Chains A and B, each alone.
Chain A
Amino acid sequence: MEWSNVDWSRMLTAMTLGFHIIFATIGVGIPVMICLAEWIGIKKGDSHYILMARRWARGFTITVAVGVVTGTCIGLQLSLLWPSFMRIAGQVISLPLFMETFAFFFEAIFLGIYLYTWDRFKKPIYHWLLSLPVVIGSSASAFFITTVNAFMNTPQGFKLKEGALVEIEPIIAMLNPATPSKTFHVLTSSYLSAAFILAGIAAFAILRGRGGDYQRKALKLTLTAGFVFALGTAIAGDVSAKFLSKYQPEKLAALEWHFETEPGADLLLFGKIDENNEITNAIKIPGMLSFLAGNSFGHEVTGLNEFPEEVRPPLWIHYLFDSMVGIGVFALMISGTYTIIGKRRSSIRNSKLLLMMIISGGPLSMLAVELGWILAEVGRQPWILRGYMKVSEGATTAAGVRMTFMLFLGLYLLLGTITVAVLGKMFKNKPPHVELGERYGK
Chain B
Amino acid sequence: MDMEILGISILWIFLFGYLIVASIDFGAGFFAFYGRITGHEHVINHLISRYLSPVWEVTNVFFVFFFVGLIGFFPDAAYYYGTALLIPGSISLILLAIRGSFYAFSNYGSRESTLYLFLYGATGLLIPASLSTALTISEGGFLVKEGDKVVFLASKLFTSPYSWSVVVLAIVSVLFISSSFLTYYASRAQDRKALGLVRKFALFWIGPTILASLLVFASLGKHNPGHFEKALDLWYLFGLSLLFFCIAFILLIKGKRYGLSFIMVLFQFFFAFFGYGASHLPYILEPYVTIFSSHTNEAMGYALVTAFIAGLLLLIPSLGLLLRLFLFDADYIKGKK
Q: In the complex, which residues of chain B have a beta carbon less than 8 angstroms from the beta carbon of A166? A: 297
Q: B78 touching A425 by the CB < 8 A rule?
A: no
Q: Count of A residues near B, CB < 8 Å? A: 77
Known A-B contacts A95-B300, A98-B307, A415-B97; A113 and B325 likewise in contact (beta carbons under 8 Å): yes
Q: Which residues of chain A come closer than 8 Å to B38, judged between CB atoms? A: none
Q: Which of B70-108 contact A (CB under 8 A)?
A: 71-73, 75-76, 78-87, 89-91, 93-94, 96-101, 103-105, 108
Question: Does B210 sit at the interface, judged by CB under 8 A?
Answer: no
Of listed B61, B65, B67, B322, residue having the most chain A CB within 10 A: B61
Whether B307 lies near A95 (C-beta < 8 A) is: yes
Query: Which residues of A approach B to under 8 Å, CB–CB?
Result: 58, 61-62, 64-66, 68-73, 75-84, 86-88, 90-92, 94-95, 97-102, 104-106, 108-113, 115-117, 120, 133, 165-171, 396-401, 403-404, 407-408, 411, 414-415, 418-419, 422, 425-426, 429-430
A95 to B71, CA, bound (A): 10
- Give Cα distance in the complex from A81 to B90, angstroms: 10
B65 and A101 contact, CB distance less than 8 A: yes
Interface centre among A79, A104, A166, A401 (most CB of B within 10 A): A79
A-facing residues in B314-334 (Cβ within 8 Å): 314-315, 318-319, 321-322, 325-326
Chain B residues in the interface with A (C-beta under 8 A): 53-58, 60-61, 63-65, 67-69, 71-73, 75-76, 78-87, 89-91, 93-94, 96-101, 103-105, 108-111, 148-150, 152, 296-297, 299-300, 303-304, 307-308, 311, 314-315, 318-319, 321-322, 325-326, 337
Interchain CB contact under 8 A, A397 and B150: yes
Within 8 Å CB of B321, what residues of A?
109, 113
Q: Give chain B nearest CB distance to A115 CB in angstroms.
A: 7
Decide: A110 near B89, CB < 8 A? Known: A69-B96, A87-B75.
no
Q: Is the CB of B86 within 8 A of A400?
A: yes
**Nearest A residue to B294 by beta-carbon distance?**
A87
How close is A96's CB to chain B, nearest CB, in angstroms? 9
The B interface, classified by DSSP as helix, strand, loop or mixed, is: helix
Q: Is there an interface contact between A116 and B72, defined as CB atoms closer than 8 Å?
A: no
Other 4 A-B pairs with CB < 8 A, given A86-B71, A398-B152 = A82-B82, A113-B326, A116-B53, A407-B91
Asked whether, in the complex, the Cβ of A101 is within 8 Å of the Cβ of B100, the reply is: no
Task: Assess A80 versus B90: contact at CB under 8 Å? Given A61-B104, A102-B315.
Answer: yes
Number of cross-chain contacts by CB at 8 Å: 225
Residues B304 and A94 in contact, CB atoms below 8 Å apart: yes
Our pick among A72, A88, A94, A168 for the contact of B60 (Cβ within 8 Å) is A72
B322 with A109: CB separation less than 8 A:
yes
Distance to closest chain B CB from A90 (angstroms): 4
Q: Give 8 nearest A-B pairs by CB, closest first.
A: A94-B72, A65-B104, A83-B82, A112-B54, A79-B82, A90-B75, A87-B79, A108-B57
Most buried by B among A99, A102, A426: A102
The answer to whether A94 touches B68, judged by C-beta atoms less than 8 angstroms apart, is yes
Known: A80-B82, A408-B94. Is A109-B68 also a contact (CB below 8 A)? no
Residues of A within 8 A of B300 (CB): 91-92, 94-95, 168, 170
Most chain B C-beta atoms within 10 Å of own C-beta, residue among A61, A108, A425: A108
Question: Complex formed: what's the CA distance from A418 to B102 in Å?
Answer: 9
Query: Across the interface, do A80 and B79 meet the contact criterion of CB distance under 8 Å?
Result: no
Q: A167 CA to B311 CA in the complex, in Å?
A: 25
* Contact in complex: B318, A110 (CB < 8 Å): yes
User: Closest CB of chain A to B130's CB: distance in Å?
Assistant: 13
Q: Is A106 within 8 A of B53, CB to CB? A: no
Cα distance A82–B98 in the bound complex, in angstroms: 24
**What are 23 residue pairs bridging A and B, where the CB atoms are less than 8 Å apart in the complex?**
A61-B104, A61-B108, A62-B108, A62-B109, A69-B96, A79-B71, A79-B78, A80-B90, A83-B82, A105-B311, A106-B315, A111-B57, A112-B55, A112-B322, A116-B326, A117-B325, A120-B337, A169-B299, A170-B300, A400-B86, A404-B87, A407-B90, A426-B108
Given known A-B contacts A83-B79, A90-B71, A69 and B101 have beta carbons under 8 A apart? yes
**Closest residue to A104 on the B side, CB-wise?**
B61
Across-interface contacts of A66 in B (CB, < 8 A): 101, 104
- The answer to whether B64 touches A72, judged by C-beta atoms less than 8 angstroms apart, is yes
